């Protein structure tokens, strides 16, 4: 039976929070061992850990192809790199703002969201973010499965690589070997993440330098074979020029798509920064880790593709996919090693970026039923049920719905969190009351309606004008009307993430005016130092 908490005292005079005999918060519907704050003694991650984390997450097939998508739009490599770096510098801002809460209070994203959305309402942004992460998990696992399939094809031969497709009904028509590789990569990730965050950290500290070393070795070998000729991609001019067509037509939507790439992680970085030894550690590691690594990875992708195009005598468009590039290696041993590097790069990114977050999000929604480990299994199931191989078969759906649309929605959530934590609360939280129903963050039946309204308004303004462009033959490039769903809002869709973030932040600031009261942080002093191994 849950003990009733006393009514919340005025700000600055926090009410005592009842704890059980172990020092844990007693509201079972808001608490489990995986959601509790990290004890200061267990906050040991240094700036090097966060730098390694970002190197690991950025080295993956999806990131590798970002530059390709921009060059395919007509940019040259300089314009593509400029767009990517600027996008990551922009998304770094809300990322560091949200990361502060994790490092200061030791809390994960879904618990942090309770301060703005309410102890029940936090399930809305948490589940929204979790479902998007599940989709990304399926996509990245599919990339990893393709890499493993390529590696085994090189090792075993045609009997594996030329397996015939089988009709699996609604699942699709796939070779059994390809589907088996997907399931193996999926199981590998579950096995690693089941051992906890320290296991993930150790895996990435080993995997990140291995993948970077493999890519650098590839570039050196190709430079040697081409005699220093950097290839066609490095020399081709921009088809867009540097005039208004680039800056007004192509650049804005490309910038927003690249911001959207990491926008979801900008919300849930407290899941990782709660382990930081101090604010400087997470701030320095991320400030260097994200933009610098994205610049280096994109440059390596462009250079490797251009060199391979020159050496193998094929167009760069045929080589932007890492699997395609590796398949052109002449040696079966080289193909095997290169394909395994793709598997490792997919897995290391996927576990940190797309498995930790939804597992915690679902645990937050139903803490009495779902632990972190069970949340992992739910995330894996949902990521597979979206059938990522079908989603990737339609580039229009992938780019215009997946990247563009959800980026605007997630921007609105980020705006509300920033406005509440930094502007309204001045970074001060009553941490124990994030785990009870009758505390300061109860609002209306556990929901802060103002946060929900601000999120809805920000998202509506940002994505209400979603539109599709027309191709050379008059075909639409996506599912939306050419003039926009709401024509009046169409110009804003090109800047959807920034619009959503700023509008939601401003609306919340106005609606929450009566709550702009400074108060002191109340730490979760009663919590014993936890083990970093998730509960079963």
| Burial status of residue 317 (CB atoms within 10 A of its CB: 0-12, 13-18, 19 or more) | middle
- 329-355 pLDDT, tens digit per residue, is 878 899 999 999 989 988 888 888 888
Q: Do the beta carbons of residue 70 and residue 394 sit within 8 Å?
A: no
Q: Which two tokens stand for residue 54?
A: 């970002």
The pair phi, psi for residue 522, each rounded to 5°, is -115, 110
CA distance 525 to 37: 10
CA distance 91 to 259: 6
- 256-308 pLDDT, tens digit per residue, is 888 888 888 899 999 999 999 999 999 999 999 999 999 999 999 999 988 98
Higher pLDDT among residues 257 and 242, named by residue:
242
Higher pLDDT among residues 122 and 386, named by residue:
122
What is the secondary structure of 486-533 as a DSSP string? SGGGHHHHTTHHHHHHHHHHHHHHHHTGGG------B--TTPPPPPSS
The pair phi, psi for residue 476, each rounded to 5°, is -75, 145
- 513-535 pLDDT, tens digit per residue, is 766 554 566 666 544 444 444 44
pLDDT of residue 508: 97
| Burial status of residue 100 (CB atoms within 10 A of its CB: 0-12, 13-18, 19 or more) | buried
pLDDT of residue 253: 83
Q: How sure is the predictor about 321, in pLDDT bands with cuts at 50, 70 and 90?
A: confident
pLDDT of residue 524: 60
CA distance 93 to 262: 12
Q: How sure is the predictor about 62, in pLDDT bands with cuts at 50, 70 and 90?
A: confident
Average of pLDDT values for 97-118? 96
pLDDT of residue 141 exceeding 90: yes
* All residues at 6 or more sequence positions from 332 whose CB lies less than 8 Å from its CB, including other chains: 154, 155
pLDDT of residue 10: 34
Q: Do the beta carbons of residue 100 and residue 281 sit within 8 Å?
A: no
Q: Strand pairing partners for 25?
A: 19
pLDDT of residue 510: 94
Average of pLDDT values for 449-463? 97
Distances (CA, A) of 351 to 50, 115, 199, 354: 15, 27, 11, 6
Least confident of 86-95, 170-179, 202-211, 324-333: 202-211
| Burial status of residue 50 (CB atoms within 10 A of its CB: 0-12, 13-18, 19 or more) | buried
Q: How sure is the predictor about 21, in pLDDT bands with cuts at 50, 70 and 90?
A: very low
pLDDT of residue 35: 86
Q: Which two tokens stand for residue 42?
A: 């267990």
Distances (CA, A) of 124 to 30, 113, 313, 367, 413: 14, 9, 51, 15, 10
pLDDT of residue 9: 32
Q: How sure is the predictor about 117, in pLDDT bands with cuts at 50, 70 and 90?
A: very high
What is the secondary structure of 249-311 as a DSSP string? IIHHHHHHHHHHHHHHHHHHTHHHHTTBSSHHHHHHHHHHHHHHHHHHHHHHHHHHHHHHHHH
pLDDT of residue 288: 95
Q: How sure is the predictor about 511, in pLDDT bands with cuts at 50, 70 and 90?
A: very high
CA distance 305 to 311: 10
Q: How sure is the predictor about 419, in pLDDT bands with cuts at 50, 70 and 90?
A: very high
Percent of the chain surpassing pLDDT 90: 41
Place of tokens 């993956």: 60
The pair phi, psi for residue 482, each rounded to 5°, is -65, -35
Pairing between β-strand 165-167 and β-strand 173-175 as defined by DSSP bridges: antiparallel
CA distance 27 to 20: 10
CA distance 420 to 441: 12
Q: Strand pairing partners for 444?
A: 447
Q: Do the beta carbons of residue 18 and residue 343 sit within 8 Å?
A: no
Q: Which two tokens stand for residue 219?
A: 């570039």
Q: Which two tokens stand for residue 77?
A: 């490599």
Q: How large is the angle between the packed helices 109-117 and 449-463, nearest 10 degrees? A: 100
- 203-230 pLDDT, tens digit per residue, is 878 888 888 888 888 899 889 988 888 8
Least confident of 108-122, 414-428, 473-487: 473-487
CA distance 498 to 489: 14
pLDDT of residue 441 exceeding 80: yes
Q: How sure is the predictor about 57, in pLDDT bands with cuts at 50, 70 and 90?
A: confident
pLDDT of residue 16 exceeding 60: no
pLDDT of residue 11: 32
Instruction: Considering the domain delimited by 38-390, tell me its CATH architecture.
Output: Orthogonal Bundle (1.10)
* All residues at 6 or more sequence positions from 395 whose CB lies less than 8 Å from its CB, including other chains: none
Handedness of CA 197, 202, 205, 208 (dihedral sign): negative
**How many Cβ atoms from other residues are within 10 Å of residue 40's Cβ?**
13
What is the 8-class DSSP label of residue 313? Answer: T
pLDDT of residue 121 exceeding 90: yes
Higher pLDDT among residues 2 and 326, named by residue:
326
Q: Is 332 helix (H, G, I), strand (E, B) or coil?
A: helix
Average of pLDDT values for 44-53? 93
pLDDT of residue 534: 43
The pair phi, psi for residue 143, each rounded to 5°, is -60, -45
pLDDT of residue 346: 87
pLDDT of residue 232 exceeding 80: yes
Percentages (nearest 5) of helix, strand, coil residues in the chain: 65, 5, 30
pLDDT of residue 18 exceeding 80: no
pLDDT of residue 514: 65
Average of pLDDT values for 379-403? 75
């Amino acid at each position: 039976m849950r003990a009733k908490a006393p009514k919340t005292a005025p700000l600055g005079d926090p009410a005592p929070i009842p704890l059980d005999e172990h020092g844990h918060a007693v509201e079972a519907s808001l608490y489990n061992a995986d959601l509790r704050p990290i004890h200061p003694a267990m906050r040991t991650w240094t700036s090097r850990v966060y730098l390694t984390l970002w190197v690991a997450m950025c080295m993956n097939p999806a990131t590798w192809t970002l530059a390709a998508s921009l060059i395919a739009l007509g940019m040259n490599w300089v314009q593509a790199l400029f767009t990517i770096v600027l996008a990551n510098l922009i998304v770094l801002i809300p990322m560091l703002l949200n990361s502060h809460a994790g490092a200061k209070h030791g809390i994960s994203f879904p618990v942090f969201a309770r301060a703005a959305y309410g102890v029940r309402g936090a399930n809305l942004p948490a589940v929204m973010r979790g479902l998007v992460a599940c989709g990304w998990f399926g996509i990245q696992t599919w990339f990893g499965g393709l890499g493993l399939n390529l590696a085994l094809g090189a090792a075993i031969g045609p009997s594996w690589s030329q397996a015939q497709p089988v009709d699996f009904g609604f699942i699709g028509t796939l070779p059994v070997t390809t589907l088996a590789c997907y399931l193996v990569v999926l199981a590998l990730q579950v096995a690693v993440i089941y051992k906890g965050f320290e296991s993930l950290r150790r895996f990435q500290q080993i995997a990140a330098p291995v993948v970077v070393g493999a890519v650098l070795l590839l570039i050196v070998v190709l430079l040697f074979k081409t005699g220093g000729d950097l290839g066609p991609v490095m020399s081709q001019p921009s088809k867009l020029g540097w005039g208004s067509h680039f800056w007004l037509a192509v650049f804005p939507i490309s910038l927003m798509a690249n911001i959207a790439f990491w926008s979801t992680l900008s919300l849930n970085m407290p899941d990782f920064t709660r382990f930081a030894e101090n604010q400087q550690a997470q701030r320095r590691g991320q400030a260097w880790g994200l933009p610098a690594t994205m610049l280096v990875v994109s440059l390596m992708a462009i250079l490797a593709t251009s060199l391979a195009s020159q050496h193998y005598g094929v167009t760069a468009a045929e080589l932007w996919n890492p699997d395609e590039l590796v398949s052109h290696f002449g040696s079966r041993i080289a193909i095997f090693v290169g394909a395994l590097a793709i598997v490792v790069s997919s897995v290391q990114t996927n576990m940190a970026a797309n498995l930790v977050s939804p597992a915690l999000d679902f645990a937050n929604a139903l803490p009495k039923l779902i632990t972190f480990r069970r949340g992992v299994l739910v995330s894996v199931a949902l990521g597979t049920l979206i059938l990522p191989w079908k989603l990737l078969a339609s580039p229009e759906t992938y780019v215009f719905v997946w990247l563009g649309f959800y980026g605007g929605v997630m921007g609105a959530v980020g705006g509300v969190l920033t406005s509440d934590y930094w502007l309204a609360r001045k970074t001060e939280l009553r941490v124990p009351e994030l785990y009870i129903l009758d505390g300061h963050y109860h609002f209306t039946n556990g929901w802060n309606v103002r946060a929900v309204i601000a999120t809805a308004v920000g998202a509506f303004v940002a994505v209400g004008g979603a539109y599709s462009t027309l191709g050379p033959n008059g075909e639409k490039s996506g599912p939306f009307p050419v003039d926009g769903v709401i024509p009046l809002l169409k110009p804003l869709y090109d800047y959807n993430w920034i619009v959503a973030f700023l509008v939601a932040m401003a609306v919340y600031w106005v609606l929450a005016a009566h709550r702009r009261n400074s108060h002191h942080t109340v730490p979760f002093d009663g919590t014993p130092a936890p083990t970093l191994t998730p509960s079963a």
